[in-house]
Each structure stands twice: as C-alpha cells, then as structure tokens.
C-alpha cells in the first residue's frame, strides 16, 4: 500500500514537472514492469493533459498561419512575374515578325478564342473593338481570331453584360443557342445558360434586334424591356424588366426580387460554386426577395435565408449543403 | 467562414493540447501544429469529410511529435533522455490505435467534470494544473505536507477519470437506447 502511494506521488511529481532525473528513471522502470502499470500511468496522464484553461489563442494562430501563407504566395508570385517577362519577350519578338513578314491570308479563320469563367467567379473582357463584356459564373465567350472592329461577332453560353462600342456601319452580333442579337451600340444583358429553362435578354439602353435561330424575322427590343424564351417550346414573351436587379451581378451584387425558390438555388449554386440539395416540395412555391453585396459567404447567405424564411440548412460535405423545409415558429 | 477557417477554429486548440502531451516546449508545439495545418492547406486534405480530416490531423500531429522527439534525443543533454523516452513510449502507444480523451471527448465537457468534484479536489486541480504552481508552492499555500498535496492531486485525477469513463458509458447506453 505504502509502495502504491509512493508511485502515485512520483507520477504527480512527473506531471507537475519536478521530477529529478533519478526519479524519472525510477518511474520509467515502474511503468515497464507491466502493461497494466503502463496503462494506469498513461490514463492518469491523459486526464491531466486534457484539462485545459479557457485561455485560447486560436485566432492569433490563424492570423500567423495566413501571414506565413501570404509571404509564401508573394515569393511564388515573383517567380511568376519572372516567367511572365520571358513570355512577354517571346510575344514581342513574334509581333515584330508578324509585322515585318506580311502574310497572304488576311482572314485567319479556323482558330477560335475561348474565354471561360469558372463557377464561383466573374470576369471582364475588353474585345479588340473596345466592347466591354462582363461574364458571370460558369459562362463562356467565343470569338474567332478574325474578330476585329469590322468583323464583330461573338457567341455566348451563360450570362454576360455587353457594353458595345458604337459603330453603325459594323453591327455587333452575339450568338446564343436560341437566338442571335444584332446591335450597333448598346448596353444589354444576355442570360443563356444551357441548364436554364429560359433564355433571356434585357436591354439597358440603345436598341437591339433579335433573330431567332432558324428564322429570318427580326424582333426589336426596347430599352427597359426583357425578352424571354422558353428554350424547349420556343415560346417567347416581352415584359418590363427590373434592369437594376438584372444586371447587379456585374458589380458583385446579388439582387433578386420575387424569384421562385428553384431559381434562387440555381443562382446561388453558380455564384458560389456549391451544390444545394433540397428535399421536399414545400419550398417550391415560395418566392424570394433579397439583396446581397456578394461579399457575403455562402454561410452568411444561408444564415440570412434561415432567419427570414422557413428553411434550415446543413453542411453535408465539401461545397455541398442540404436545404430542409422548416416552418417558422409563430412568435 | 471558409472550410479551412472552420477546421482551424475547431481543431487548433485540441491539437495543441495533444501535441503538448508529447512535447514540453510550447513554442515548439505551436510550430508542429502550424506545420500540420500548412500541410492540409497545401495538399487540400481539408476539403475531405470531417471525420477523415480529424483522423488525419491527429495522426499527422503524432508523426510530427515522433520526429521532433527523435531529433531532441540527439540535441538534448543526457539528463533529459528518460523524459524523451517516456514521451516516445506514449506517442507510440497512441500510434497503435488508442485514442486520447483530447481526440475522443469534448474539451468543455472534461472541464465541466471538474466542477462536479469535491471542493478539496477542485481546488488542488486549479492550483496545480491551471495556475501551474509547483507542488511545494501549493503545500506552502495550503499549509499541507508536500506528500499530502501529491496524493490529493492523484486522487483528484482518479476521481475525474472515474467520472469521465462513467459518463461515456452512459452516453453509450443512451445511444444504444435510441436505436
């Protein structure tokens, strides 16, 4: 019994950090006598180790982590800049050659420039004629390498906002899977995702003409008007557009007014590159209105929806959430 | 909050405590934990399912500690040999599949168990573990023989061990009951 208490004191001294080297050896010898003794020592030590003060420096440590990562990225960026200058030098040499050696073919058709924007991000392109195109998440803009200020034709899948440089002599054409848009100098939004039921275009200012695929008829759209076509039945309609909320995405805002729940889900999925899985049909009949500046994370958006509408959410796995119908409690 | 920040917030403290089981120096322990987070950032392991990530984190920490101890064995003076050997023995014990309370339980619940101890035990745990007083200093403060202090710390830890293992037994029963 005396012996047992002696070892217990020894263990406490070891945990408390004032064991002499001799005592440490003694303790080690005791532990090595049997597996039971070893387990007793380890389980008592484990209790001691897991007791913890409320003092927490996680936030500080996270800041240190990001600082380290940042300096690393900066270092690798220098390497990038270096390789960029090499590429630039090669391009300049190539340019000089192409100027000095005149080519016979004035139109280099065949090769196509593709500009695609991954889900979860947005981008902006300035074309050779000075036209600016903002592209939304998951969109793709194609134009042939023959594109110039006299040959203005691009094709688009996804969503883009065009600010077309005015030139009445050379119309600018945007081709989509459902219709072509011919303009001279205007600002308009086109939304033509292949997985959407409808394709739309909204005119902010100027004038545009629409030509349906497989038809020669040209429809005119007036400023502030929205053209919508059912991609399957090809039925179309015109309506007054809420231009501000239609094109807010290009400035990083996310505005929606009375849009059905499935549309909201689809827009969030694209905008944040996440998957939202919805169970139950109760939510399908809800319309949503809201405004996010897009600086919000998907968590913040879902939290806001959770507070204001009968939903709850759960993270299932990486970039995937489950949305559940949950009636709001009456206060 | 991003995926990564969430994991960092949830596991950093637990991993630090776990590291301190095997590594005495707190600044070295912080380095080991940072390195593991850098690794999952770079190999993008943090994108996987959380239980996989958790297991990966604790395993990586243990490997980091074992490497550190191997190095310390060479660097340190002869006197510290025994404590390094004990730490290595402990790390290898957890390597073989045994799980520490730090990995298994909720830290807050462990701390809450302290409140359910008799005052005498609670007091001694606070002084010895949280305020980091030496046994001799506690003996002075409480006007007790040093051996009594040591015995009391041991009894307090045993009582906690009892409480925690009984509690996890009940939670087990409870979950069985639900099914």
Pairing of strands A275-278, A311-317: unpaired
Cross-chain CB nearest to B111 (options A16, A52, A318)? A52
Cβ atoms of A142 and A112 within 8 Å: the answer is: yes
CB-CB: which of B33, B129, B151 is closest to A48? Answer: B129
Which residues, in sequence order, are CB contacts of A68 under 8 Å at separation 6+? B34, B38
User: Torsions phi, psi of B125, nearest 5?
Assistant: -65, -45
Q: Is A330 helix (H, G, I), strand (E, B) or coil?
A: coil
Q: Give the gap in angstroms from C-alpha B129 to the nearest C-alpha of chain A.
A: 7
The three-class DSSP label of residue A233 is coil
Residue A104: pLDDT over 90: no
Is A77's pLDDT higher than 70?
no
| Residue of B99, B157, B158, B161 to mutate, testing the A interface (most A Cβ within 10 Å of its Cβ) | B157
Does the structure show a pLDDT above 60 at B177?
A: no
Which residue in the set B17, B90, B151 is minimally distant from A50, CB to CB?
Answer: B17
Tens digit of each residue's pLDDT (9 = 90 or more) over B80-97: 688 888 999 999 999 888
Q: What is the pTM of this model?
A: 0.49
Instruction: Give the pLDDT confidence score for residue A137 in this predicted structure.
Output: 86
- Asked if the model's pLDDT at residue B158 lies above 90, the reply is yes
- B105 and A18: CB-CB below 8 Å? no
Q: Are A316 and A322 in contact (CB under 8 A)?
A: yes
B34 close to A (CB below 8 A): yes
Give the closest of A21, A44, A62 to B157, CB-based: A44
Average pLDDT, chain A: 81
SS3 A175: strand
Contacts of A17 in chain B (CB under 8 A): 134
Phi, psi of A320 (to 5 degrees): -145, 130
- What would you report as the CA-atom Rg of chain A, rounded to the nearest whole angstrom? 32
A61 vs B33: CB contact, 8 Å cut-off?
Answer: yes
pLDDT per residue over A176-223, tens digit each? 988 899 888 889 999 988 888 888 999 988 888 888 877 778 888 888
Beta carbons of A311 and A325 less than 8 angstroms apart: yes
B151:A61 CB<8 A:
no
Binned at pLDDT 50, 70 and 90, residue A62 comes out as confident
A47 and B164 within 8 Å at the Cβ level: the answer is yes
Which residue has better confidence, B70 or A112? B70
Question: Angle of helix A35-50 relative to helix B81-95, nearest 10 degrees?
Answer: 90
Average pLDDT over residues A209-238: 86
Q: What is the pLDDT at residue A103?
A: 40
Please list every residue in chain A whose beta carbon sits closer than 8 Å to the beta carbon of residue B113: none
Higher local confidence (pLDDT), A82 or A305: A305
Task: Identify the burial level of A143 via C-beta atoms within 10 angstroms of its C-beta, where 0-12 means exposed, 13-18 middle and 19 or more buried.
Answer: buried
Nearest to B34 by CA among B54, B53, B11: B11
A109 pLDDT more than 50: no
- Cβ-based neighbours of A186, under 8 Å, separated by 6 or more: A162, A164, A203, A204, A205, A206, A207, A208
- Contact yes or no for B107 and A13 at CB 8 A: no
| Angstroms from A272 CA to nearest CA on chain B | 12
- In the numeric block, the tokens 């913040």 are attached to A300
Question: Is A62 within 8 Å of B12 when comparing Cβ atoms?
Answer: yes
Average pLDDT over residues A161-177: 89
CA distance A310 to A326: 5
pLDDT of residue B14: 92
Q: Can you tell me the mean pLDDT for B68-75?
A: 84
What per-residue confidence (pLDDT) applies to B179? 44
Tens-place pLDDT, residues B117-148: 999 999 999 899 888 889 999 999 999 999 99
């Amino acid at each position: 019994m005396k012996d047992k208490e002696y070892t217990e004191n020894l263990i406490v001294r070891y945990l408390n950090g004032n064991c002499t080297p001799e005592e440490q050896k003694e303790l080690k010898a005791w532990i090595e006598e049997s597996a039971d003794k070893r387990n007793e020592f380890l389980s008592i030590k484990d209790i001691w180790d897991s007791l913890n003060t409320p003092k927490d420096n996680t936030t500080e440590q996270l800041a240190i982590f990001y600082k380290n990562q940042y300096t690393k990225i900066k270092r690798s960026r220098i390497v990038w800049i270096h390789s960029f200058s090499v590429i630039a030098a090669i391009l300049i040499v190539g340019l000089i050659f192409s100027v000095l050696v005149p080519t016979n073919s004035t139109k280099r058709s065949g090769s196509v420039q593709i500009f695609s924007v991954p889900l979860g991000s947005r981008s902006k392109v300035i074309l050779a004629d000075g036209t600016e195109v903002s592209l939304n998440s998951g969109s793709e803009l194609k134009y042939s390498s023959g594109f110039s200020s006299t040959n203005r034709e691009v094709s688009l899948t996804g969503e883009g906002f065009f600010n077309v440089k005015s030139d009445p002599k050379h119309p600018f054409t945007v081709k989509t899977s459902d219709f072509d848009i011919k303009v001279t100098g205007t600002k308009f939004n086109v939304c033509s995702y292949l997985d959407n039921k409808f394709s739309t275009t909204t005119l902010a200012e100027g004038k545009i003409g629409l030509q349906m695929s497989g038809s020669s008829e040209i429809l005119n759209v007036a400023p502030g008007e929205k053209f919508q076509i059912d991609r399957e039945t090809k039925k179309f309609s015109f309506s007054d557009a809420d231009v501000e909320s239609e094109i807010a995405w290009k400035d990083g805002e996310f505005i929606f007014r009375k849009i059905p729940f499935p549309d909201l889900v689809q827009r969030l999925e694209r905008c944040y590159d996440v998957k939202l899985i919805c169970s139950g049909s109760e939510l399908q009949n809800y319309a949503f209105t809201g405004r996010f500046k897009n600086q919000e994370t998907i968590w913040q958006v879902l939290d806001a929806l959770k507070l204001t509408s009968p939903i709850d959410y759960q993270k299932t796995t990486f970039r995937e959430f489950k949305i559940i119908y949950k009636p709001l409690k009456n206060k | 909050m991003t995926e990564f920040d969430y994991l960092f917030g949830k596991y950093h403290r637990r991993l630090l405590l776990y590291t301190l089981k095997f590594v005495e120096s707190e600044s070295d322990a912080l380095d080991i934990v940072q390195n593991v987070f850098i690794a999952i950032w770079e190999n993008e392991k943090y994108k996987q399912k959380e239980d996989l990530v958790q297991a990966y984190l604790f395993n990586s920490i243990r490997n980091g500690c074992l490497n550190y101890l191997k190095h310390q064995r060479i660097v340190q003076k002869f006197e510290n040999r025994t404590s390094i050997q004990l730490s290595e023995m402990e790390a290898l014990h957890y390597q073989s599949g045994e799980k520490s309370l730090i990995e298994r339980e909720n830290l807050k619940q462990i701390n809450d168990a302290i409140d359910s101890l008799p005052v005498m035990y609670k007091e001694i745990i606070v002084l010895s573990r949280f305020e980091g007083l030496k046994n001799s200093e506690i003996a002075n403060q409480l006007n007790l023989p040093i051996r009594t202090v040591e015995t009391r710390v041991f009894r307090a830890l045993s009582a906690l061990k009892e409480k925690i293992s009984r509690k996890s037994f009940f939670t087990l029963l409870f979950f069985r009951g639900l099914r």
